[in-house]
Structure 1
Amino acid sequence: MVQLAALGAALCAGLVSAGAYPPDVVDELAESSMPKLKDWLAKNPQPGCTYETAAKRTEWSDLSLDERKQYTNAVLCLQSKPALMSSQAPGAKSRFDDYVVVHIQQTPRNHGSYWNWDRYAKDPASSPLFDGSEGSMGGNGAKVAHQGIPIPGAPRPYDMIPPGDGGGCVTTGPFKNMTVNLGPIAPTLQQIPRNPRVDGLGSNPRCLRRDINKHAAAVTMANYTHSLIRSNSDVYWFQTVMEGQFPQGKWGVHAGGHYTVSGDPAGDFYVSPGDPVFWLHHAMIDRVWWIWQLQDLERRLAQVSMTRTMNNFPPSANGTLDDLSGLGVLAPDVKVRELMNTMGGLEGKFCYVYE
């Protein structure tokens, strides 16, 4: 009912047309997997969380205009609050920047291991996410001449994503006046001024740039995501295929989503959370992982893989459920096992499903 109400409000506001986004094969898989979740919960009651009380995470285009504006206003609020990490990262000017700092510092540990990509994959620049309206996450960047995106280690013709039609500053939508402060570290646009610090944590104010790219979006179609979930029963291969097997010329949906936005900082491996749309992309990553877990909850709630450092560089021990993960000064450290369970982790503080 909540989803129908949100869709109705969106229709009344002229945000989407009736039947614009029928369920895709991933949506259908998620829906057909819900009995498995309910059965597991019946056998394994969770502290402070039931299916009935779980929060429902909803796709962007299913939100009403007011709900979308509440989200973007919350981001703008974070960008108006003073940073907590400016002593270690002089470039951090806001609470929003604090999260970017944590990502930069933890990138070697957190990588390699919601927007519904398929809805907008054919024409992302015209989608409710990027059309530049007040109900969007901001528009494409102004059109400027620039090269494509090189993919290190990939064979030709997969070693270069052709450029999109943007590349310049975002001039429409809620973030048209946004200032990017941190990075770059690994830019995909060559015209970005360098950071005064090698670690990217110095002050480097500039505009938000995007190059919305339908070539990258092509690998985020639902058939790729469905195959990722259904064809990889082991977490190692699930993670590997999601990230991308670049030496074989195979992009993963994770990389495809990032390069759909591209620009600065979204196209920067380290600084990508500096574009607010990063958080919707990674909520979709979380949703896909959640649907993958639902296929075998007893086993997959306890599956971790690979070492504690990306590509085992520098060499490190294998990750475990008892490893600590945290957000520095922004949140206390918690064990990984608590983050694995969206239906009762952290003594019920994690209690959500995806619609």
Structure 2
Amino acid sequence: MAGTAVIKALVASLCLFSGASAWPSTSSKRQTLGADDIQKQALANAYKVLDGTLSDGSTNRKTTCNKTTVSIRKEYGDLTKEERLEYIRAVKCILAKPSKLPAGKYPGAVSRYDDFVVVHMNMTPSVHGTANFMHWHRYYIWAYETALKTECDFKGSQPYWNWGKYSDLTTSPIFNGDDWSLGGNGEYVKHVGMNMGRPIPAGPGGGCVNTGPFANTTIHLGPLSPTMDPALKIKANPRSDGYGDNPRCLRRDVNNFFTTQYLRPVDMASHITSNANIGTFQSTLQNDTPQKAAMHGAGHFSIWGDPGGDVYVSPAEPAFWLHHGQLDRHWWMWANYLEKEIKTRIAQYEGGTNWQNPNSPKGKPTDPQWLDVVTPVGTAGIQSNQLFSTTAGPFCYLYE
């Protein structure tokens, strides 16, 4: 089980009272923009970039990415039932395929899906609280989407979860437990919340997910930085590094604590319009202040559970990909909604290279990014500056 140092690292990584400065002031003009306005402006500008009437400064755009070929990522609740079923089928397919990691090195990597979890576990210190937080996760989400397409014949695009859309997350199309959802909440079991600088109340779940398409899903890796009530007696991993095979149920504690206070459309719009550079954008996205929970951690802890609340192992939660899809969309909106600033914002890169070392070397746009065995063909060691735009480099997608 993780020790005190790892728990402290979790707190730093998942936006919890990390000493971030107060939110930057915003102009009255930008305050009037709502989240829907920002989305519309960003999409309109992105299409201008695609048709060549506006430049975002990218020099690595492929002519094969255009209005006809661009992939459109949609909010999960906006997908048709058929589209949701296709996504669920593909995820179940990747869960059923064997791991491609070296035999015996990671005993808990039972499936191809687990390969993605191991990669995240290995990379966690260098891709949270660092210059490449947004960039690496963009690459990672795209790699997952690519694997669904190339290994499981997925016909759609990676969906996202719009944090501000649902007044009750437990009854949302994502977590309501019907055949088109990602499964329901965990079964209610009595448990206490947690205290991460402020008290976080227990939600209405806490137990195993036993409804919907991902009912009875088995988690194998971790826990490494558990955050659930110890009284639930979630099994410790047989290895201290969390890579041992530790079969247990998928647990959730889906709750509205964060969505009703920190993940509202007004919060999203305020965050986008309040930060003029990537440094403050990323730090306020990840780091709590005494007044405000940051959105990255707030999204994770709206799902919570095991492994959803574990900074290392959280991708083993199927809803992880929707949450980080929204994080990528949030960055995309910030980078694209102001036409005159697109060139500047897309190219910005600030921060260190290891969140466990505040004095780590600064990241450079030429830094290579790594995904080990989940790397899409031809992209191993791709530089961060190839990941700035969603319609350049290896990418060709937009958000609606």
Smaller-chain TM-score bracket = 0.7 to 0.9
Matched AA of 2:300: H
1:96 aligns with 2:140: no
Q: Which contiguous aligned blocks of 4+ residues in structure 1 show a shift greater than 4 angstroms?
A: none
Q: Give the match for residue 70 of structure 1.
A: 86
CA shift at 1:222, angstroms? 0.8
Q: Which runs of 5+ in 1 are unaligned?
A: 1-23
Q: For residue 134 of structure 2, what is the aligned residue in structure 1?
A: none
For 1:118 and 1:96, how far apart are their aligned partners in 2? 28
- Whichever residue aligns with residue 360 of structure 2, its letter is S
Distance 1:252 1:329 in 2: 31
| Secondary structure, aligned partner of 2:164 | helix
Q: Which residue of 1 aligns with 2:24?
A: none
Q: 365, 387, 396: which one pairs with 1:339?
A: 387
In the alignment, is residue 258 of structure 1 matched against residue 306 of structure 2? no
CA contact (8 A) 2:43 2:399 kept: no
Paired residue type of 2:37 = E
Q: Which residue of 1 aligns with 2:37?
A: 28
Letter in 1 for 2:238: P
**Contact 1:217-1:259 at 8 Å conserved across structures:** no
The one of the two structures with greater contact order (alpha-carbon pairs below 8 A, sep at least 6) is 2
Residue 196 (structure 1) aligned to one of 222, 238, 245: 238
- What secondary structure sits across from 2:36 in the alignment? helix
Q: Kindly, what percent of the aligned residue pairs are identical?
A: 41
Q: How far did residue 249 of structure 1 move?
A: 4.1
- Partners in 2 of 1:148 and 1:249 — Cα distance? 19
Q: Give the equivalent residue in structure 2 for 1:82.
A: 98
CA–CA distance in 2 between the matches of 1:200 and 1:34?
A: 41
The corresponding residue for 2:53 is 42
C-alpha displacement of 1:39: 4.0
2:125 to 108, 112, 115: 108
- SS in structure 1 opposite 2:252? coil
Is 1:170 matched with 2:217?
Answer: no
SS in 1 for 2:258: helix
- 1:52 Cα offset (Å): 4.0
- Equivalent position of 1:327 in the other structure: 371
Q: Which residue of 2 aligns with 1:140?
A: 185
Q: Which amino acid aligns with 1:146?
A: H
Q: Deviations over 1:195-241 (max 9, x none)?
A: 11111111100000000111122211111111111010111110111
Aligned partner letter, 2:126: R
Query: SS at 1:224's partner residue?
Result: helix
Query: Please, what is the CA RMSD of the aligned residues?
Result: 1.6
Q: What CA distance in whole angstroms lies between the structure 1 residues aligned with 2:331 and 2:190?
A: 37
Partner of 1:243: 286
SS state at 1:119 partner: coil
Matched residues in 1 for 2:199 and 2:88: separation?
32
Write the distance in 2 (CA, Å) between the matches of 1:84 and 1:337. 28
In the superposition, the TM-score normalised over structure 1's length comes to 0.86
1:37 Cα offset (Å)? 2.8
Aligned positions, number:
320
- Residue 117, structure 1, aligned to residue 163, structure 2: yes
Determine helix, strand or coil for the equivalent of 1:353. Answer: strand
Alignment-derived partner of residue 184 in structure 1:
223
Q: Secondary structure at the match of 2:259?
A: helix
Kindly state the Cα deviation for residue 316 of structure 1 after the two structures are TM-superposed: 2.2
> Is 1:284–2:326 an aligned residue pair?
yes
Q: CA deviation at 1:28?
A: 2.2
